[in-house]
Structure formats: C-alpha cells, structure tokens
Structure 1
C-alpha cells in the first residue's frame, strides 16, 4: 500500500494555478502557465532568466507579490527535480522577501516550502518543525487556504513515516480548511491524499472512487498534472485490488503520461505499480526491468521510494532464483538502513546533548542560588557578631552569650548547606541517569549502551571471555499501531522491555535501539548460551501473550545473533543482516550469524 502514498504525495506540494494580474511580471506568469507541466525544463529556464541566482531586491519593484510567486514556483520545480539545495535556497529567499514586506502569510509559505524540501529528503523531524512553525503563524490569522496546505503537509509527513491514523486526522483538517476557502483545486488535491490513507487502512476498493473523483476534478479544472497523478494512483489501486485486466489498460498509459512530469517521486512510484502488475501477471523479466528503471530514478533523491524498490527487487530476485542478485539488493538495503539509523543516532545524540546542557545549566543555577544564600547568611552572621561585640562593651556576659548563639547559627547553616549540597548531587546523579534511559521503556538508550559496550569489550579482551550481541525487531508492529493506536503500541513496547529485564540476567545490557528494535549485549556468554536464552524468551512470549488495554496480543519478534569479536559496529551490522534474513524468511525466528553460514531457528 505504501506505493499509493508515494504516488499521491506529489499532490501536497502542487502550488496550484498561479493567477497573473496586470503588472510588470504578468507576462512571465502567463508564459509560465502556458509552459506548465508540458515543458518543465523551459519553465524553469524562464524563471532563472527572470529571477537570476541572487537575493531578492525590492528596490524599484512595484509588484512584490508576483515576485514572491515566481520564487515559490521555482522552489516547487527545483524540488520536483531533486535539486534540494537550490530549492531550499529559493524557499529561504521567499522568507527574506516576506521579512522585508512584513507579510505573515508569505513567511508561513516560506516555512511550508522549506518543510516540503526536508520531507522529500526523508528528514521528517526538520520538516515538522517548519510545518508547525507555519501553522503557529496561520492559526491566529484568516488564511484558510494556506492553513489547509500546512495541515496537508503535516499529514503527508505522517504518511511518509507510516503513521496512518495521524495522517488521516490532518488530511481531514486540510480538507475542511480547503472547503472553508472554497478552493476546488485544494479540495481535489486533499481528497486524493486522504484516499491514500483510506487505501492503507480500509483497502484499495474504498479509495478507488475517491481517486476517480480527483481525476474528474482535474479534467474539470483543466489541470493536466492532477489528472496524471490521479491516473497513476488509480493504476496502483487497480493492481492492489486484483483488477489486473483493467490495470493493464490503465497503467501503461499512466506511466507514459507521468514521464511528462519532472517529479522523481511520482515517476519512480508509477514504476513500482507497473512492476507489481507485471510480477502478478507472471512477467518477471518485465517487472525486473521496470523496477530497475524506478530505482535509477529514485536512488539518492527519494529515500522512501529508494528503500521500497530495493526491497521489492530483492524479493523478485529471490522469486526468480537469483540468490546473488537478491543478496546484493539486501546488502544495499541494509546499507541504506544503516545510513538512516546513523542519521537518527546523530539526531538523538544532539538532542541528548542539548537536554544535558539545559539540565547542567539548571544545576549550575541552583548552585549559584545556594552560594548566594550562603553569602547572605554569612553577612547576617557577621552583622550579628558585630552587634555582639558592641554589646560586649556594655555587658560581657551578654556578648559571650551572643557569640555562643552565633556559633550555633553558623553550625546549623553549615549542616543545612551540606544537606542541600547532598540533595543537589543526588539530583544531578538522577538527571545523568535519566539522560541514559529511554523515556518510554526505561531501558538503556543508544548512547548509554555504546559507552557501556566499550567497557565490556575491554573486559572481553582482558579476560578472554565470550561476548554475544542480539538485535530483535517486533514483527508487524506498524499494523498494531494503525489498528489499535499508538497507546497500545506503547504498552507493547513497555511490556516487552519488562520481559527482557526479567528473562535476561542483571549483567546483560539491554537497550531500545530504534522504534521497535531492541539490542542486547550478553557478556561472558557463548553462542550456544545466547541461543538458549533467546529460545527461553520466545517460549515465554508464546506462552504468555502481552497484556494491553484492549486485551492480550500475541506478539512475535525476529532475532539476529552475532558473536562480538573486536569491533562493536561490525557485530551490530552482522546481527542486523541476520535479523533481516529472518524477516525475509518469514519472521518469528532467530537467525544466528557465525561467519559465512547462517543458522535459522524457527
């Protein structure tokens, strides 16, 4: 179903028809509209001649709104071609123009465009920051059309990340805002995007009438791009619903039309659909050829489509009995997976570092407050002693009593300060511990496990003891989230974390490694002992299903097991490859990596 989202996602970023007015730039806008989707290269060349490559200058410009429109159009074209740095630069130039004009709507549009560029590259966190910043500007203003675009952008980003329930919520908000704006183009666009989520959650048959409605709207509005993308989505839905004869009539025409567009995502996406059609028809060589074409288009430009095409190509090679080619595609998929994990890891490390700096600043502030309290108390104490000396001149006994009283005060303050320092040290210790833990499961996080793993590696070398590493991934976790909601998914993660703590030893290091992935480092454990431990865990999980708020759920995991030699990263990669082989072999199993040969435990 993911291919549907990939095809329809292009709609979110369609800028809509530009409306040229009577002004100095009207001829450029009219010429751009004439070129449209038919000649995108010529349209981009026209914009380059008009705008140049420098920063926008309002000096002597009588029509800044049309100038902003041109920057917006060029951003969209460059993003569609995969020229992401240039597209980001244009989106930021639009923001500079908005700042010069003091235009909130234009500033929100700049943020929106920057978010779309980030989302196209798979940087969903950065995209969401831009989208929500734009949303904050618009929700207090009367801009229902622009707000609809922001809601839709957030929905598409959730869809890319496979959060179908959240995506549907934002698509429905986008559709409501588009209707409030009475914008037929946006209504059709967001109907198509909502259809992608409905296809994923309710099935392709439920989404087909909606995509046909989008196609009809494109015809009515005279928007060829909308019609072409709707046709591509209809092709994909026909294949998924098993209507192969109808798909055979629709898909080739859709692919020919899509190739007129510049968008890498939709061009690669239609090839996924056509490849799937040929594979279902048993035309495996043709399917392979079309998939490879899609991979060439998506590689390095559209990360999500790149990943999905590698996966289907590996499966197709297996089906065609090409084990070496399948292995090469799986290796490429694992490498891409590792790159994504590394980006996530760097982001998490940066987030933890920022959190640590904030917490350290808070601790330092508390220390400063304690120091100020102590100084104030010392001043009061000195004043009391001076007063005591004055009274000593009058009454020696009273002065002596005052000095004794001052001594008692000083002793009490020292004890209070020592107690507060102890509390502060405990708080700092607690903060440090929290920074090492995953907030949902309470397990170690990546940073903490990597630090402790170095210690275990040093001990292994010193004492020459065995060390094993296990990667475990929950099978079919996304459908659990989609069907029952993220709260149930969180219950599953927390329950599995508790089972891992209970069934493994206290000396074993257990971490939440990714979304639904766990890593266990087993010191002083042979390969046979590690297999036995995992088998005990799997048996316990089978005998005692996970208890959730909706009742018990039967959960399975796929495990990859490797021996750690001298390098932790190599062991992780080896275990990851073993785990992926377990997924490809049908899930719910342990695959042991012991060099070239792999041992599968069902």
Structure 2
C-alpha cells in the first residue's frame, strides 16, 4: 500500500491501468532495447519490429483481462464491505484458498498439540507423565531448580487390582493423582512416575517442609480415604531427597532408596534420603 500511494504521481490511479502499465513496460523492455540498438546501428527491421510490438500489446491486453477477472471478486468484496452489505458469494470465491490453507495449518497445529499432550501427559490421571515431568523440570530457570523431589508409592496397590479389579485400580490411581494435585502448592510439580508410583517436585523447599506436606496428605488419606483394602484406608509410602540443581538422576535414585526404606519399615510412612555430608 505504501508503494501504491508513493507512486501515484507516476502510474495511473486505476489498479487495472497500473497493472497494464507494469505489464506493458516489463514485456516491452527487450523490444525497446532492440529498438535503441537498431536505431543506433541502422540495422533494425522495422516491419518485423512493428508486428512483434503489436503482438506483445495484444498479449499484454489478454494478460490484463485475465488479471482483471481474478480481481473482480476482490473488488466486489471490497465494495460490499465498504457499503456494509452482505458479501454474498464473493467471500467464498476470494477466501477459499486462504480458508483451506488456514484450516490445514490449524489441523496440523492441533495435531502437533495432541501429539505433544500424548507424549507428556498421563491419559488416565490427566497429570504429567515421567517425560512431561522431566521436561517441566528441565524448562525451569536455574534459580528455581532447587528444592526436594519425592517418589510416592501407593501401598499394596496390587491387592486393589487383584481383589476389586482393574477398573477400581484405575479409579484409585486417578483419585490419588487428584488428591496430590489438590494438596500441594501451585508451584509444585506432580506427575505419575509409572504404575502406582508418583513424583513431586517441591520447589524451594527443605526436607522438613516437603515431609510436612506429605504427612498432611497422608493424614488426609486416613480421614478421607480414596478407597480401602480389607477395611483399611489406602495409604502411601514416600521417599524424599534434597535437590539443588545437580544431576536429577542422582536425586531420584536417592529418593527411590528412601522409598525402599519406607516400605521395608512397614509402609504408610515417609523417609528422607540421608544427606551427602552424613554419608561422608
């Protein structure tokens, strides 16, 4: 549009005449160059030159007619929009290609979003899976990559599937994920680690704070159980490890060892991984 306005004093205001002028000059530059050379050297074949010029003028006119036919729907749509009238059939004619391209791009974008969600979200519980959890941790800025990681295991979950069926087992998993997500802070990350195991990242927390948070959830599981086995509320065991932005694998390995200690100690309890200073 800026070029159109800036060149108004050179080219005609009419869009059709502008197109004709541009097409005529562009197609006749070689002929004009040949005319200049022929006049300078006296070796021009004037009849053939005139005939070729007329032929190119006719070709330019035909091209302009075709361009005008293509522009007619746009003019009709512009006039209709300017007058506030219904554009009628002009809009589909003009917009078909754009709408098709946009729909294709939107479908591709939706498909990419679906694939990303499937890769990073657990379909049963609706929370992040292990891959999504690790991706979220990796995306955190350096000053927020510190706190505590915990691995949580539902106690005697196999009995739920064996005694009450897999549908009840799926319900328990989904309810447990909802319970965890509802009782941690918004800055904390919750994920299904795999099977009946879950993971939590307590951001900017020391072991005491993370342990207290899990103890509060455990108490809630006893007073408002998500299910029971042989009349006893379903509980969980957990292992906690401090993480200061180092190797995640090491932190999770230490949290897993603490979880093993919790199970060996009778389950329904929370154990902390010993600090490296204590081990030394």
TM-score (norm. length: structure 1): 0.31
Partner in structure 2 of residue 453 of structure 1: 137
Cα offsets for 1:258-286 (capped at 9, x unmatched): xxxxxxxxxxxxxxxxxxxxxxxxxxxxx
Partner in structure 2 of residue 482 of structure 1: 162
Does the Cα contact within 8 Å between 1:388 and 1:403 map onto a contact in 2?
A: no
1:417 aligns with 2:101: yes
Tell me by how many angstroms 1:459 deviates: 3.2
Does the Cα contact within 8 Å between 1:546 and 1:553 map onto a contact in 2?
A: no
Q: Distance in 2 between matches of 1:504 and 1:542?
A: 17
Tell me by how many angstroms 1:428 deviates: 1.7
Partner in structure 2 of residue 35 of structure 1: none
Q: Distance in 2 between matches of 1:553 and 1:434?
A: 35
Partner in structure 2 of residue 557 of structure 1: 236
Tell me by how many angstroms 1:454 deviates: 2.4
Relative to 1, partners in 2 of residues 1:547 and 1:475: Cα closer, same or farther, differing over 3 Å? closer
CA RMSD after TM alignment: 3.3
Does the Cα contact within 8 Å between 1:471 and 1:579 map onto a contact in 2?
A: yes
Secondary structure class of the residue paired with 1:506: coil
Secondary structure class of the residue paired with 1:413: helix
Tell me by how many angstroms 1:514 deviates: 1.9
Does the Cα contact within 8 Å between 2:73 and 2:94 map onto a contact in 1?
A: no
TM-score (norm. length: structure 2): 0.62
Relative to 1, partners in 2 of residues 1:440 and 1:427: Cα closer, same or farther, differing over 3 Å? same
Partner in structure 2 of residue 536 of structure 1: 216
- 5+ residue gaps, structure 2: 1-61, 78-89
Does the Cα contact within 8 Å between 1:512 and 1:518 map onto a contact in 2?
A: yes
Secondary structure class of the residue paired with 1:560: strand
Partner in structure 2 of residue 576 of structure 1: 256
Q: Distance in 2 between matches of 1:583 and 1:563?
A: 20
Does the Cα contact within 8 Å between 1:388 and 1:402 map onto a contact in 2?
A: no
Does the Cα contact within 8 Å between 2:74 and 2:94 map onto a contact in 1?
A: no
Does the Cα contact within 8 Å between 1:470 and 1:560 map onto a contact in 2?
A: yes
Cα offsets for 1:554-578 (capped at 9, x unmatched): 1110110110131111111111111
How do residues 370-385 of structure 1 correspond to structure 2 at under 5 angstroms? none
Tell me by how many angstroms 1:388 deviates: 10
Q: Distance in 2 between matches of 1:595 and 1:496?
A: 29
Q: Distance in 2 between matches of 1:537 and 1:490?
A: 20
1:441 aligns with 2:121: no
Match of 1:516 among 174, 196, 218: 196
How do residues 63-462 of structure 1 correspond to structure 2 at under 5 angstroms? 389=65, 404=75, 408=91, 409-456=93-140, 458-460=142-144
- 5+ residue gaps, structure 1: 1-385, 393-397
Q: Distance in 1 between matches of 2:127 and 2:187?
A: 14
Q: Distance in 2 between matches of 1:542 and 1:564?
A: 29
Question: Which one has the bigger helix percentage?
Answer: 1
Secondary structure class of the residue paired with 2:120: coil
Relative to 1, partners in 2 of residues 1:404 and 1:561: Cα closer, same or farther, differing over 3 Å? same
Relative to 1, partners in 2 of residues 1:419 and 1:440: Cα closer, same or farther, differing over 3 Å? same
Secondary structure class of the residue paired with 1:488: helix
Partner in structure 1 of residue 275 of structure 2: 595
Tell me by how many angstroms 1:418 deviates: 2.3
Does the Cα contact within 8 Å between 1:441 and 1:497 map onto a contact in 2?
A: yes
Q: Distance in 1 between matches of 2:122 and 2:231?
A: 24
Q: Distance in 1 between matches of 2:151 and 2:275?
A: 16
Secondary structure class of the residue paired with 1:439: coil
Question: Which one has the bigger strand percentage?
Answer: 2
Secondary structure class of the residue paired with 1:529: helix
Runs of 4+ aligned residues of structure 1 deviating over 6 Å after TM superposition are: 550-553
Tell me by how many angstroms 1:423 deviates: 4.1
Relative to 1, partners in 2 of residues 1:434 and 1:402: Cα closer, same or farther, differing over 3 Å? closer
Cα offsets for 1:221-243 (capped at 9, x unmatched): xxxxxxxxxxxxxxxxxxxxxxx
